[in-house]
Structure 1
Amino acid sequence: MLTETLIEDERWRELRLDSLAEAAGQATFEHLGLDPDAFVISVLGCDDARIASLNAMFRDRPKATDVLSWPSAERGAPVAGAAPEAPETGMDGELGDVAIAFDTCLADADAIGRPPADHITHLLVHAVLHLLGFDHLRDEDATLMEAMEVAILGKMGIDTPYCDDRG
């Protein structure tokens, strides 16, 4: 298993967060040609109060958010728009941690009219890409990361989460 899921908010069990996290991780690794058996990602299924606490502690933003990720090492590409180097196999294997908040995720899915499982899978793919060094702070990096997300989700049978009419 690529992912180890800890459920703090029992409502995640009904949505099968463990299965969604594993599928998102596997699909991301497959798309990038990485061996999922060489790595571990820890996933925390929590509520808004817990993620707000984590967001305050680590990002100085004391409010709930949908998902947070903490890579075990800096893996970002130095050149804007370039893919980060793949993590080395045979090292520790711990890629990092992800926390995802139930209430915010479901409210956001409802607000954008997407099935909760599709929205949560998108957020998990997004978080796994962060653990692998992808980011969206620079425009070129955001374009690359978004394209990766769309391609991975497409292979999973999930429509693009982004609007096609950006004008």
Structure 2
Amino acid sequence: MSQLTHPITEVLVVADCWRNEPEADAVIQRAIAAAADAVDTDVADAELAVMLTDDSGIRTLNCNWRGIDKPTNVLSFPALQPSGAQKPGDAPRMLGDIAIAYETMRREADEEQKPFDHHLSHLAVHGFLHLIGYDHENDDDAEAMESLETEILAQLGIPAPYADRERMD
């Protein structure tokens, strides 16, 4: 690769339940790098944060931001993008934030008999795609997003995530 195309990703562990998953940071970094390589969006030198939380934390976020009072596996919060071109000396462009809930993610991985790191990779990719504008509000958008997720995960050696499962929220 001739130039850096990956965003700068900061992984923040805010719930103790993640302390038993020391590879989570590396898994997320790898998944987001693969996603950045697969999309046409320029994310070089952009920044994003991934917060590793628990069901209680993500439930609060889900309730406050979406009006849904229950935990979910992943939430994305795209940053507002400044108008105009980036100038030398400007702060790095923020893509936004992703939150991933341990208990929900762990339960889904166990129920679907998927390796933990495969499901974590999928949720990181899913969240990243939301940050850069992908969505699944209608069937065509959902099909495009799921197809891209499947392609990205295949590059990581991870089987198609939607083979035996309903779409994510």
Same fold (TM over 0.5): yes
Give, in whole Å, the separation in 1 of the partners of 2:138 and 2:145: 10
Kindly tell me: are residues 2 and 69 of structure 1, through their superposed partners in 2, closer, same or farther at Cα, counting changes over 3 Å?
same
Deviation at 1:72, TM superposition (A): 0.7
**Percent identity between the two aligned chains:** 37
Letter of the structure 1 residue corresponding to residue 136 of structure 2: H
Deviation at 1:124, TM superposition (A): 0.8
TM-score normalised to the size of structure 2?
0.82
Kindly tell me: are residues 162 and 95 of structure 1, through their superposed partners in 2, closer, same or farther at Cα, counting changes over 3 Å?
same
- Counterpart position of 1:83: none
Map 1:12-161; keep pairs closer than 5 Å. 12-15=18-21, 16-34=23-41, 36-73=43-80, 90=86, 92-161=92-161
Letter of the structure 2 residue corresponding to residue 90 of structure 1: Q
Deviation at 1:134, TM superposition (A): 0.3
Deviation at 1:22, TM superposition (A): 1.0
Give, in whole Å, the separation in 1 of the partners of 2:130 and 2:13: 21
Give, in whole Å, the separation in 1 of the partners of 2:16 and 2:44: 27
2:109 partner SS: helix
Map 1:4-19; keep pairs closer than 5 Å. 4-15=10-21, 16-19=23-26
1:18 partner SS: helix
Which runs of 5 or more structure 1 residues have no equivalent in the other structure? 75-87
Deviation at 1:36, TM superposition (A): 4.7
Letter of the structure 1 residue corresponding to residue 123 of structure 2: L
Letter of the structure 1 residue corresponding to residue 71 of structure 2: A
Give, in whole Å, the separation in 1 of the partners of 2:102 and 2:9: 18
TM-score normalised to the size of structure 1?
0.83
In the alignment, is the contact (CA less than 8 A) between 2:105 and 2:120 conserved in 1? yes
Most deviating of 133-142 and 28-37: 28-37
Deviation at 1:25, TM superposition (A): 1.1
Which runs of 5 or more structure 2 residues have no equivalent in the other structure? 1-6
Deviation at 1:165, TM superposition (A): 10
Give, in whole Å, the separation in 1 of the partners of 2:12 and 2:57: 13
Letter of the structure 2 residue corresponding to residue 57 of structure 1: N
Kindly tell me: are residues 165 and 109 of structure 1, through their superposed partners in 2, closer, same or farther at Cα, counting changes over 3 Å?
closer
